[in-house]
Structure 1
Amino acid sequence: MSMSPWRLRLLIISLLTVSILGALDHTIVATSLATVAGELGALEHMSWVVVGYTLASTVLLPVIGKLGDAIGPRRVFVASLVLFLIASLACGFAQDMPQLIAGRVVQGMSSAGLQLMSQTIVAEVTTPRERPRLMAIIGAAFPIAILVGPVLGGLITDYWGWQWVFWINLPFGVVALGLALVAIPALPGYGRQRFDLAGTIWFSLAMVSLVLAVTWVGDAALVAASIALFAVAAIAFAAFFLVELRAREPLVPLRLFANRTIAAGTALSAIIGVGLFSITAYLPTYFQMAYRTSATVSGLVPIATVFGMLLSNLASGWLVSRTGHYRVYPIVGTSLGAAGLLVMALLPAGLPLWVPAVVMFVVGVGTGAFMSLVVAVVQSAAPRRDMGSITASVNLVRQVGSTVATAVIGGVIGFGVAALLPGSMDASTLTPQLVHAASPGVQAQIADIYSGVFAPVFLALAVVYALGIIAAVLLPAGRLSDEREPVSSSEPVTA
């Protein structure tokens, strides 16, 4: 569908604003959680503010994708944005933790709709050739949120009160809604006679069980429940795949994964979640312990990583839209990621902090080179009637990969450090402040322990990126097309 330049600009401004708001919900709230839990008197339920959001956004991804295909992405996007604003208002007015958790669940549901429909709308109104550049602009919301979210959340909590962490969404969201109503053209759906209820039930059961299992696996009191939930998740996933293979209108169109482009692109998306997003949260702790830095200084390495991701994401999107060639970027990107993480595994502790910062900047550059690009490439190989569903699938594997890998890495670090600590130290009470106040000999011992525990983690993630090189090589060569015709072939639309 052709759009005038000014209307397309309004559309991208609206989608980018909404994407930033949705991405900030992951990072801006984290800084204020302790304050919120203390004021509401429910510190023990604090984690559910995050878990409830994650569960809702993950479980609803394929459902919302299918709904967008059925009734049109514009309707789903507008409804999701209105619901997101209502939920943000309700979260700020929450009087107790159950009210806040309920509001966060609704926020998670609506945020999934905003994320998916933004990408689907771009796919509907642009050519495959135009798509990478615009998708990269919208995809920049995530690294921007990582960079500014924690600081912004702290400032708002300290000077305005934690309620404004949620209410800040309202003025920007209302402006984005007005722009969306003007800029987004009518995008009719393709209609569906049957809804895959059985697939939805099995998928929801599987995802809820999996997210809760990986959330509880590190708690000694909940290990048995976690194992049981892993078993439930495995059974539910098996049943889900069997149902999807037989469904007339499946929730996830498994038939499309016979397409090499879609299969390889989806694998690359999962590698981003497993290979980089999962380790980012643990980098500050690693540098505080192994490099003996302060909390403030330890944040410089994740910032360098995300900054590299942001620059590379925008550059690769612009270059692909300019030339049409896309295959080289995931190949180079996964290679850089694998090399950088391998170097991280081999770095000795005690080096100047700029050394790992440069290495992780390279990893970020490699990841950003195909972070948004793979979504655009996969969309170019999918039929338009399944655009929402396939976009949901690409995002889903990234989110699930990140969630599961984050829990696994956390468990490995926790058990590894506890096993290597001397008997006089308790891993549960070990803090960077305690280590920095200890003798130089103890500090060196703790640094060696953390270096020894993190080295195999970095090595395993380097292997993940190395597998990504194979997936990238399997992407068909060619150039993205300027044609706007509906897509139904088994390869990307090429010139």
Structure 2
Amino acid sequence: MISLLTVSFLGALDHTVVATSLATIAGDLGAVQQMSWVIVSYTLASTVMLPVLGKLGDLLGVRLVFLASLVLFLVASLFCGLAQDITQLAIARVGQGIGSAGLHLMPQTIIGSVVAPRDRPRILSVIGAAFPIAILVGPLVGGLITDAWGWRWVFWVNIPVGIVALVLAVIAVPHVPGRSGRRFDIAGALVLGVSITALVLAASWASVGGVGMPVVVAAVIALLALAVFIAIELRVGEPLVPLHHFANRTILICIVLSTVIGVGLFSVVSYVPTYIQMAYRTSATVSGLVPIATVFGMLVSTLFTGWLASRSGRYRPFPIIGTTVAAAGLLIMAFLPPGLPLWVPMAVMFLVGIGTGAFMNLLVAVAQSAAPRSDTGSVTATVSLVRQIGSTTATAVVGGLIGAGVAAGLPAGLDAATLTPAVVHASSAAVQAQVAALYSAVLAPIFIGLAIAYAVGIVAALLLPDRRLSDHLEPEPAPTAETAVV
């Protein structure tokens, strides 16, 4: 537990720490215009490699993939700190992203391989707590390290912590045999990589420059590659993403609910601080309290519901209650008038975090319990992959809608291209009131749309089979009637 939690926290912390230091890094390397590639290269590599590492874990054994991911992450962190230009840094970040995907995925897979289904929610909630904790402390840690030692130590600080985690992992993580001798689906991995890469690039370009020809071309390539990937998976003997997962009602609903989280919450949380600064006329520091409240709600809820699910063995009530609470919170956000005390949106987004945390990590345990043990890695990767893709795509859509809506309604004298909270706060009270009303009007239908996404999750959760998690770790679950197509 200590080993897996340390590694999970290390991987989760890296992304949030670097985000705080991004402007300093780009300025020092003289590449402010290309600084987005520091994030894009990392996100792209980690997303593409999720299904690949999940399958390799099933075939080669999760311990080997886990240790290899950790070593790669540490080596890449060293080269990130040594980078002399933005190209070197972006390449090193690709290695970091691949390693980070393993640090995120393999602890969950290991738990699914060696822990009885009923105990998994409690343990996965503790492992999963690394993500919200990293969001809470990452920006502060990144800022302190950058100011005290320089941005290179944002990457190098991973090394001593990672070495301790590696020693713990070598000692403590058990050997779980894979299915060696089976052929890896190279064609499927390449085609899915093309599809995910094109989708992530399309989403990134759309969020920056709107929908243009490059975005359309990338989206078409993503769809065509996805179609080819499905055709490949139907023919190969050891598919990268076993499509029979989608014929299992429990796994399918877990996949839908995971997508709902990516679309319904992760897509908007990065825009909430700007919304709060504009609509509630706060400083950047104060506006950060709202996403902190959201993440704190997720942390409390995921630990509590994980404990409850393991104690009772039942899991169905939690996604039903969670999606309902989150949908209600987003709907309330849509109708909040600007100018209310800051504690009001904090309380509402805390409610959204409570609802999301109620089932976020539980989905992994439920999906694992419904899949054969030989597919633990691939089913865990699939649940994580759809959340990541849903978040990436929806973030681009939300960003485009906000940008277009604000540009169309700005008061005379303000330019959308140079609009910052500081510019608005320096304007007259009348202009500030207009901008606040504009942001509320633009964000209201977006919050409603995200609430509808969670409403879809309510329907999916109601269709989840009402079963108990088993007390025993069976060698290989026998096929059940649930494997029939829904």
Q: Same fold (TM over 0.5)?
A: yes
2:33 to 41, 44, 58: 44
Deviation of the 1:257 alpha carbon: 1.3
Deviation of the 1:382 alpha carbon: 0.4
Cα deviation 1:341-387 (Å, max 9, x = unaligned): 00111111111111111111010000000010000000000001111
User: In the alignment, does 2:462 pair up with 1:451?
Assistant: no
Query: Residues of 1 paired with 2:206 and 2:266: CA distance?
Result: 19
1:394 to 383, 389, 392: 383
Q: Could you tell me whether the CA contact under 8 Å between 1:476 and 1:491 is conserved in 2?
A: no
1:86 to 67, 70, 75: 75
User: In the alignment, does 2:376 pair up with 1:362?
Assistant: no
Deviation of the 1:221 alpha carbon: 8.7
Count of residues in Structure 1 that have an aligned counterpart in Structure 2 = 482
- Change in Cα spacing, 1:266 to 1:441, as seen in structure 2 (3 Å) is same
Q: Could you tell me whether the CA contact under 8 Å between 1:289 and 1:432 is conserved in 2?
A: yes
Query: Residues of 2 paired with 1:261 and 1:253: CA distance?
Result: 15
Cα deviation 1:108-156 (Å, max 9, x = unaligned): 0011112111101011110001100110001001101110111110010
Q: Can you give the 5+ residue segments of structure 1 that lack an aligned partner in the other structure?
A: 1-11
For 2:479, the equivalent position in structure 1 comes to 489
Query: Residues of 1 paired with 2:46 and 2:13: CA distance?
Result: 14
Deviation of the 1:488 alpha carbon: 3.7
Specify the code of the residue in structure 1 equivalent to 2:452: V
1:15 to 4, 29, 50: 4
> 5 Å matches for 1:342-381?
342-381=331-370
User: In the alignment, does 2:289 pair up with 1:291?
Assistant: no
User: In the alignment, does 2:320 pair up with 1:331?
Assistant: yes
Q: Could you tell me whether the CA contact under 8 Å between 2:259 and 2:387 is conserved in 1?
A: yes
The more displaced of 274-283 and 194-203 is: 194-203
Query: Residues of 1 paired with 2:280 and 2:478: CA distance?
Result: 53
For 1:7, the equivalent position in structure 2 comes to none
Q: Could you tell me whether the CA contact under 8 Å between 1:132 and 1:372 is conserved in 2?
A: yes
Query: Residues of 1 paired with 2:209 and 2:24: CA distance?
Result: 26
SS in 2 for 1:217: helix
Cα deviation 1:324-344 (Å, max 9, x = unaligned): 111100000000000000011
The CA RMSD over aligned residues, in Å, is: 1.4
Cα deviation 1:283-321 (Å, max 9, x = unaligned): 000000011111111111111000000000000111111
For 2:14, the equivalent position in structure 1 comes to 25
Q: Could you tell me whether the CA contact under 8 Å between 2:117 and 2:365 is conserved in 1?
A: yes
User: In the alignment, does 2:148 pair up with 1:159?
Assistant: yes
Query: Residues of 2 paired with 1:315 and 1:46: CA distance?
Result: 39
Query: Residues of 1 paired with 2:212 and 2:317: CA distance?
Result: 44
- Change in Cα spacing, 1:289 to 1:117, as seen in structure 2 (3 Å) is same
> 5 Å matches for 1:13-162?
13-162=2-151
> 5 Å matches for 1:266-345?
266-345=255-334
Specify the code of the residue in structure 2 equivalent to 1:293: T
Q: Could you tell me whether the CA contact under 8 Å between 1:260 and 1:491 is conserved in 2?
A: no
1:419 to 384, 397, 408: 408
With structure 1 as the length reference, what TM-score do the two structures score? 0.95
For 2:182, the equivalent position in structure 1 comes to 193
Query: Residues of 2 paired with 1:186 and 1:350: CA distance?
Result: 57
1:235 to 212, 224, 227: 224
SS in 1 for 2:469: coil
Deviation of the 1:193 alpha carbon: 2.6
Q: Could you tell me whether the CA contact under 8 Å between 1:384 and 1:488 is conserved in 2?
A: no
With structure 2 as the length reference, what TM-score do the two structures score? 0.97
Query: Residues of 2 paired with 1:422 and 1:39: CA distance?
Result: 36
User: In the alignment, does 2:246 pair up with 1:257?
Assistant: yes
The more displaced of 480-489 and 453-462 is: 480-489
Q: Could you tell me whether the CA contact under 8 Å between 2:77 and 2:158 is conserved in 1?
A: yes
Specify the code of the residue in structure 1 equivalent to 2:139: P
Query: Residues of 2 paired with 1:139 and 1:386: CA distance?
Result: 21
1:244 to 226, 233, 240: 233
Deviation of the 1:490 alpha carbon: 4.1
Specify the code of the residue in structure 2 equivalent to 1:38: G
For 1:4, the equivalent position in structure 2 comes to none
Query: Residues of 2 paired with 1:222 and 1:332: CA distance?
Result: 37
Query: Residues of 1 paired with 2:464 and 2:452: CA distance?
Result: 19
Q: Could you tell me whether the CA contact under 8 Å between 2:411 and 2:435 is conserved in 1?
A: no
Cα deviation 1:385-430 (Å, max 9, x = unaligned): 1110010000000111111111110000000100111342210111
Query: Residues of 2 paired with 1:304 and 1:193: CA distance?
Result: 47
Deviation of the 1:192 alpha carbon: 4.5
Query: Residues of 1 paired with 2:175 and 2:116: CA distance?
Result: 17
Specify the code of the residue in structure 1 equivalent to 2:469: L
The more displaced of 40-49 and 449-458 is: 40-49
Cα deviation 1:429-477 (Å, max 9, x = unaligned): 1111111111111011001100000000100000000000111111111
Deviation of the 1:323 alpha carbon: 1.1
Query: Residues of 1 paired with 2:214 and 2:478: CA distance?
Result: 45
Deviation of the 1:85 alpha carbon: 0.7
Query: Residues of 1 paired with 2:33 and 2:409: CA distance?
Result: 29
Query: Residues of 2 paired with 1:443 and 1:341: CA distance?
Result: 24
Deviation of the 1:182 alpha carbon: 1.0
Q: Can you give the 5+ residue segments of structure 2 that lack an aligned partner in the other structure?
A: none
Query: Residues of 1 paired with 2:60 and 2:183: CA distance?
Result: 13
For 1:383, the equivalent position in structure 2 comes to 372
Deviation of the 1:106 alpha carbon: 0.1
Query: Residues of 1 paired with 2:446 and 2:342: CA distance?
Result: 19
Query: Residues of 1 paired with 2:267 and 2:330: CA distance?
Result: 13
> 5 Å matches for 1:175-214?
175-214=164-203
SS in 2 for 1:95: coil
Query: Residues of 2 paired with 1:352 and 1:45: CA distance?
Result: 38
